[in-house]
């Protein structure tokens, strides 16, 4: 799809992936509107859009009048979501409202204001639960391990229903763990790796729970390019992976090495409350998306971690 001059709406646009996508779209000449509720305790940060040619509108998808914000949109990228797994367990109704109901409100507003706009929706590999075999393809059974995965499953399926019933072009990307510049690093609410990055930048020690679980992490800028490529993919649900998988213990060692050997880690027993909802190892089979689009990740894990650390060093105060 030609992006130059196209009005693109990015929900969650002040968050990690949303702002990274906004920057990538703007670099291709798109007119970008970032919508974000700027809720405390989330990944939203105005600093994420520094230097990005995008208009930020502070609005909550759960309460705002969304149709005027979508009018004239040529493409919609839906990345706004509640992401805390433990938070979803503690308050599942709030989690459901932020993920499923807010998504349904967005869909209804888009029907009225931008009925022809293609949509790319940020879904999650968490839907699969504990994998029955690796790597995980799209036909793996869905078995949500926590309330957050249930609400995100509902959000994804509302979008797919919009495609089936109203023929809107919708692509849902089930993302693996993502990292990179703009990630929330104040704590582990967005991902465990955020807190690890903070600790090594501060020269401290971080805990690795278990250490044998495997992950295929994806660099944020690669993910942004995948979202753009998805505009030209056949509608449907696709897995999106990243670099070759490593164990969490290996990841910790690579992170410390990428930081010049500064920082350290210790391996601990998985906390009981988190062990109940942990999915174990995950490796995505994303051959379907690669075949459909020609996309592939371009940033190796150690390079991505080094670039992430370098980006945060002069900006640390704005993120902790």
Residue found by looking up tokens 């490593």 in the block? 246
Report whether 186 contacts 316 (CB < 8 A): no
> Residue 161 is part of which domain span?
7-184+218-241+283-299
- State the CATH number of the domain containing residue 145: 3.40.50.720
Residue 1 falls inside a structural domain: no
Closest CA to 149 of 279, 15, 242: 279
The pTM score is: 0.95
Residue 104 falls inside a structural domain: yes
Residue 273 falls inside a structural domain: no
- Average pLDDT taken over every residue of the chain: 94
- What are the φ and ψ backbone dihedral angles of 96, each rounded to 5 degrees? -65, -40
Residue 305 falls inside a structural domain: no
Residue found by looking up tokens 């029907």 in the block? 111
- pLDDT, tens digit (0-9, with 9 covering 90-100), for 54-103: 999 999 999 999 999 999 999 999 999 876 666 567 777 888 888 999 99
Confidence at residue 84, expressed as pLDDT on a 0 to 100 scale: 63
The more confident residue out of 203 and 275 is: 203
Residue 306 falls inside a structural domain: no
Angle, CA 234 vertex, CA 146 and CA 76 arms, to 5°: 65
> For 131-138, what is the mean pLDDT?
97
Residue 316 falls inside a structural domain: no
Residue 314 falls inside a structural domain: no
> In which element (H, E) is residue 270 found?
none
CA distance 6 to 180: 26
Residue 160 falls inside a structural domain: yes
- pLDDT, tens digit (0-9, with 9 covering 90-100), for 202-236: 999 999 988 889 999 999 999 999 999 999 999 99
Report whether 119 contacts 237 (CB < 8 A): no
* Number of domains composing the chain: 1
Closest CA to 281 of 122, 72, 62, 130: 130
């Amino acid at each position: 799809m030609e992006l130059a001059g196209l009005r693109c709406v990015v929900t969650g646009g002040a968050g990690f992936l949303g702002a990274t996508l906004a920057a990538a779209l703007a670099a291709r000449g798109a007119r970008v509107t970032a919508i974000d509720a700027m809720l405390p305790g989330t990944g939203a940060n105005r600093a994420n859009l520094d230097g990005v040619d995008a208009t930020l509108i502070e609005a909550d998808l759960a309460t705002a009048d969304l149709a005027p914000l979508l009018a004239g949109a040529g493409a919609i990228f839906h990345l706004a979501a509640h992401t805390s797994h433990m938070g979803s367990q503690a308050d599942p109704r709030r989690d459901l409202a932020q993920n499923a109901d807010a998504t349904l409100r967005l869909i209804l507003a888009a029907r009225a204001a931008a009925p022809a706009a293609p949509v790319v929706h940020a879904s999650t590999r968490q839907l699969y639960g504990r994998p029955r075999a690796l790597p995980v393809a799209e036909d793996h059974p869905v078995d949500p391990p926590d309330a957050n995965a249930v609400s995100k499953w509902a959000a994804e399926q509302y979008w797919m229903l919009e495609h089936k019933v109203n023929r809107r072009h919708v692509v849902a990307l089930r993302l693996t763990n993502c990292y990179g510049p703009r990630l929330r690093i104040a704590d582990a609410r967005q991902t465990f790796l955020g807190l690890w990055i903070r600790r090594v930048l501060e020269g401290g020690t971080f805990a690795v729970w278990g250490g044998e679980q495997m992950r295929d992490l994806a660099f944020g800028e690669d993910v942004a390019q995948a979202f753009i490529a998805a505009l030209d993919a056949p509608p449907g649900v696709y897995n999106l992976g990243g670099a070759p998988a490593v164990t969490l213990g290996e990841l910790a060692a690579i992170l410390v090495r990428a930081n010049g050997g500064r920082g350290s880690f210790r391996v601990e027993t998985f906390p009981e409350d988190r062990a109940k909802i942990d999915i174990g190892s995950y490796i995505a089979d994303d051959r379907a998306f690669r075949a459909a689009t020609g996309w592939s990740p371009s940033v190796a894990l150690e390079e991505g971690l080094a670039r992430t650390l370098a980006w945060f060093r002069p900006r640390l105060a704005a993120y902790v």
